[in-house]
Amino acid sequence: MSRIGKRPVAIPSGVTANIDGNVLSVKGPKGTLTLRLSDHIAYKVEGDEIQVNPANETKEARSFWGLQRTLVSNLVEGVTDGFAKTLVITGVGYRAAAQGRKLKLQLGYSHDVDLDIPEGLDVATPDQTTVIVSGIDKQSVGQFAAEIRRWRKPEPYKGKGIKYQGEYVFRKEGKKK
């Protein structure tokens, strides 16, 4: 039994959820998100909550149960509060600047890295060493933050690079004489 899947997803005030065929759509103050529903799971919108249960007693249905409940919960949380990832840039001369729908990164290469910001996401740079990626879709926020981090992962000797806020970088000791 899935302990996560047993709990219903609460729908806050100002948010509406509709099941239309094989698609769940959730509309809230920040926008609208949709999720293609799995055939192995039964979904029910009752009052101010969404029930997620396995459609049958197969192993596949039980294994999808908790995942589908979490995906539905992320839809509701995204349209009410949204999601954000904060990246911290460490290193001499490393900096970032958001310019319109582009993010310009200077990471010690011979050229600047220009990234196009995907639709539905907002990127803010409160200072030159902090990048905040925010949006209503948790998957796209995490994916774009990972693409930014991929350009210069934190290295273990000096700690230079791009890391998530709160991420621990295991530091190694350098050569000894």
How much is the pLDDT for 174? Answer: 87
Rounded to whole angstroms, the Cα distance separating 174 from 156 reads 10
In a domain, 74, yes or no: yes
Judge contact between 161 and 108, C-beta under 8 A.
Answer: no
Rounded to whole angstroms, the Cα distance separating 172 from 42 reads 50
Judge contact between 68 and 22, C-beta under 8 A.
Answer: no
Question: What type of residue sits at position 39?
Answer: D
- In this structure, the answer to whether residues 51 and 92 fall within a common structural domain is no
Rounded to whole angstroms, the Cα distance separating 68 from 65 reads 5
How much is the pLDDT for 108? Answer: 92
Please list the rounded mean pLDDT of every run of 10 residues in the chain (177 residues). Answer: 84 92 92 92 91 90 91 94 96 94 94 95 96 96 96 94 94 88
- In this structure, the answer to whether residues 21 and 93 fall within a common structural domain is no
Best CA proximity match to 91, nearest among 32, 45, 28, 158 = 158
- In this structure, the answer to whether residues 74 and 147 fall within a common structural domain is no
In a domain, 23, yes or no: yes
Rounded to whole angstroms, the Cα distance separating 4 from 8 reads 9
Best CA proximity match to 15, nearest among 78, 65, 57 = 78
Domain ranges, residue 150: 83-164
In a domain, 175, yes or no: no
How much is the pLDDT for 1? Answer: 59
How much is the pLDDT for 21? Answer: 86
- What sign results for the dihedral spanned by CA atoms 149, 35, 37, 5? positive
Domain final residue, candidates 56, 80, 104:
80
Judge contact between 74 and 135, C-beta under 8 A.
Answer: no
Provide the H-helix boundaries in the chain. Answer: 3-6, 59-80, 138-150
